[in-house]
Amino acid sequence: MKRSRNVKIVATLGPASSDYEMIRALHEAGADVFRLNMSHGAHEEIAERHAIIRQVEEDLNSTIGILADLQGPKLRVGTFANDEEELEEGASFRLDLDKTPGDATRVCLPHPEIFAALEEGTSLLVNDGKIRLKVTSFGKDFADCEVIVGGTISNRKGVNVPDVVLPLAALSEKDRKDLEFVCELGVDWLALSFVQRPEDVNEARDLAKGRAAILSKIEKPAAVKSFEDILAVSDGIMVARGDLGVELPVQNVPPIQKRLIRKSRAAAKPVIVATQMLESMIESPMPTRAEVSDVATAIYEGADAIMLSAESAAGAYPIEAVTTMNNVAVEVESDPNYQDIVSKSREAKKTTVNDAIVAAAREITETTDIKAICCYTQSGTTALLVARERPPVPILALSSQRRTARRLALTWGTKCVMTGDLDRFKMAVVNAAKAARALGYATEDDQIVVTAGVPFNTPGTTNILRVAPCDERLIYNTDPE
């Protein structure tokens, strides 16, 4: 399916988008990747949605990525005798391990790991930061706090601890079971919640055993501080602005978003911007102007993908939300300033032959009438490097590996085309020319750039570049065997 934009759209599936007709309509409207939220839905429901996506993929002869988002450990207070209490600013409030229903002076916090990591002055945020507590004293089974920002506290509200690295694994027992289930199911990406350190990512990778690529969600201050180390061991990144905006001052989130996008792009790893992008469209067929500007900003910053959560999973207007996001992307990318902005944000990196080849491919398209960059890739490395350059022409990724093609559905500007195994570069050029014509990117009178790694089937060996005609008769007549 040919798109008129480069940025990809991730749509979350849920109660409002769980049948064949809706999932197909969402893909046709612009969704390139579907997110399965493991926080909601039994395994049977997840498997059913996965099967429907693959059926849509087959029926439309398309390539669709599937991302399974693991829940991660959830930190919550216990229950209250009256279901809720009002905490007044300046009051004292205790968190402890006593499971007795709470009152206005205390409540259970059934997470001894939190108490083990506390320091005097540590901030505790309850109910998405609506209530703010400061630790005044603590022990192995309690924390006495001062209420800095009061409000209504009720049963099982979430707790955030932004100031410290918690001695908690990113994978709960539920996550481990979910991870094994979705890997066996055949998802393409695993989104890992509660990442604090690179060891969290390595643990998930060991369990995945190559069956899915690992995408780290950056939603905690500790992850921001350790971002470069986390990026190094991740296959992709999600800027999860929801929890970031709770655990950090909200004004810090925009510059962090910009910084994480740039670093991810420099590392040639796809990056998603997520959370509240078109939040009002859960209930309204039209977004706010501020939401449209937010989506546009992520696109101008060079994000690989932008994501819908409740808008497509549980909202009243899922198709309209995807259509709006698609229309904003098309409009932004048609802005004459867009290419200039993404070009100026490019970090020069020509330390290897691979880097030099893809940089040369992009430079050729900027100075001559080239219609597309076609890269033959088995592992996806070549396509990722080309996408990092943000060239002004489409990127066609030709691969014999369906798994690689599906993973690349998340990558900026990349259209994946399945092809057979090759042993000669000439055939890679011929197949690229056929694909460019078949998809409407070029005619027989046009030229394309073809990149590949020789010998074939060896990851990370991008070492050949060819400017080729789109008429394969000319290729056969002029190219040696």
Told to judge if 415 belongs to the known catalytic residues of this protein, a careful annotator would answer: no
- pLDDT value of position 148: 96
The answer regarding whether domain 84-160 maps to CATH 2.40.33.10 reads yes
Does residue 316 register a pLDDT over 80?
Answer: yes
Of 35, 106, 407, 437, the active-site residue reads 35
108-136 tens-digit pLDDT? 999 998 999 999 999 999 998 999 999 99
Provide mean pLDDT across the span 44-48. 97
Told to judge if 197 belongs to the known catalytic residues of this protein, a careful annotator would answer: no
Does residue 421 register a pLDDT over 90?
Answer: no
* DSSP-assigned letter for residue 235: S
Of 3, 54, 74, 76, the active-site residue reads 76
Topology of domain 8-72+169-335 in CATH is TIM Barrel (3.20.20)
The β-bridge partners of 246 are none
Told to judge if 49 belongs to the known catalytic residues of this protein, a careful annotator would answer: no
9-40 tens-digit pLDDT? 999 999 999 999 999 999 999 999 999 999 98
Does residue 460 register a pLDDT over 70?
Answer: no
Does residue 370 register a pLDDT over 70?
Answer: yes
Of 12, 63, 275, 365, the active-site residue reads 275
194-240 tens-digit pLDDT? 999 999 999 999 999 999 999 999 999 999 999 999 999 999 999 99
Q: Where are the alpha helices (DSSP H) in 30-147?
A: 43-59, 112-117
Told to judge if 344 belongs to the known catalytic residues of this protein, a careful annotator would answer: no
- pLDDT value of position 192: 97
- pLDDT value of position 223: 96
Enumerate the domain spans of the chain. Answer: 8-72+169-335, 84-160, 353-478
**Domain 353-478: which CATH number of 3.30.70.20, 2.40.50.140, 3.40.1380.20, 3.40.50.1820:** 3.40.1380.20
Of 217, 265, 371, 406, the active-site residue reads 217
